[in-house]
Amino acid sequence: MSFTFDIHAKDGAARSGVISTPRGDIRTPAFMPVGTAATVKAMLPQSVRETGADIVLGNTYHLMLRPGAERIARLGGLHRFMGWERPILPASGGFQVMSLSQLRKISEDGVRFRSHIDGSEEFLSPERAMEIQRLLGSDIQMVLDECPAFPADEAQIEKSLALSMRWAARSKAAFGEQPGHACFGIVQGGIYPHLRRRSAHELREIGFDGYAVGGLAVGEGQGAMFDVLDATVSHLPEDRPHYLMGVGKPDDIAGAVLRGIDMFDCVLPTRSGRNGQAFTRNGPLNLRNARHAEDTAPLDPACRCPACRQFSRAYLHHVVKANEIIASMLLSWHNLAYYQDLMADLRAAIAEGTLAACAEKVFTAYARSAESSAGAN
């Protein structure tokens, strides 16, 4: 079976459809829970699937350092290793390596860096990044790119972009022919529309199975992010998936879907869950807040997760305040279920031609929560 993308419905720039892979279908728009170290934190694989997730994210950087790509390959590949038999997309490691700033050195060949685990010297090139993803058995493989820090001036971004495009060509060559697997390019260019367009056109010339937009959600703000998407997405092939990397909050996702994005990933649902925050249809809730101490209502009456079906806000407040492990488990499950429900709502709205109204509900809920959050903590 080959890797394919079929668009089933459109509403403006937004699309709903299905990515088909030998390991299963991915309904789009899709949210991918992040399983950095071969686990979605505080979740069992079957629990992740029960939330509605079709695909999870891994991480080349973390898995190459521990336990090692070759070891995972000897153990039967990442799917068997982590107990997830559906599609996996591992980030190439570029973002993590670039964030090591004081511990890495970039050259035309690749990135030489010191492990944050034990200080050992490591080297990641476009060819090695693709080799690691192949050893893991990744269904969708990402090119290695340079992710410049924000803010950066135009000259810095342009130089970085040129290197990323050369690395993209090398990554695609190293990917070679892998039936049933896909290789995605990554658009860079900072907040500069003309550089984003240049990157999109150069990646199209190389030719990829899908196109990601990287280098956002790094401090530029939602307005600037949407401006970049407005300038970029229309220059990507319409018949290929569009993936916005590392995003984001529910209102970020709704706005990006309106602009033609099909795939998302973010640590926010699970990280927030581990810190006592729950996402709901009416905005986020801070379960540490004393106002929940005697509230017998569920987090979200419309939610189907165990946290909402079996427990009250008062109980969740208690286990969060007591730092009980079950608090991380229940709130991570709830948040992932909310994100998957959000994606299902967006897919249905696209099919019905009512996406603008659906997105507006999300914007209203999360704008209201942003205004009141300072006093809610």
DSSP codes joined into one string, 84-128: --S-EEEE-SHHHHHTTGGGEEE-SS-EEEE-TTT--EEEE-HHH
Token pair listed for 263: 């795939």
Question: What's the pLDDT score for residue 368?
Answer: 66
Question: What's the pLDDT score for residue 350?
Answer: 99
Domain ranges of the chain: 4-266, 272-369
The stretches in the chain having pLDDT less than 50 are 371-377
Question: What's the pLDDT score for residue 137?
Answer: 98
Token pair listed for 1: 């079976």
State how far the Cα of 13 lies from the Cα of 19, in Å rounded to an integer.
Answer: 18
3-class secondary-structure state, position 264: strand
Q: Which residues contact 211 (CB under 8 A, 6 or more apart)?
A: 184, 185, 186, 187, 200, 203, 236, 237, 240, 241, 242, 243
Question: What's the pLDDT score for residue 95?
Answer: 82
Strand order in the sheet with 14-21: 4-11, 14-21, 24-28
| pTM of the predicted structure, to 2 decimals | 0.96
Q: Which one, of 24, 7, 32, lies nearest residue 347 by Cα? A: 7
Could you give the count of Cα atoms lying within 13 Å of 249 in the half-sphere of its Cβ?
A: 17
Fold of 4-266: TIM Barrel (3.20.20)
Give the sign of the dihedral formed by CA 78, CA 81, CA 82, CA 83: positive
DSSP codes joined into one string, 8-49: EEEETTEEEEEEEETTEEEEESEEE-B-TTSS-TT--HHHHH
Q: Which one, of 266, 284, 283, lies nearest residue 275 by Cα? A: 284
State how far the Cα of 59 lies from the Cα of 364, in Å rounded to an integer.
Answer: 34
CA angle 39, 143, 68 (to 5 degrees): 40
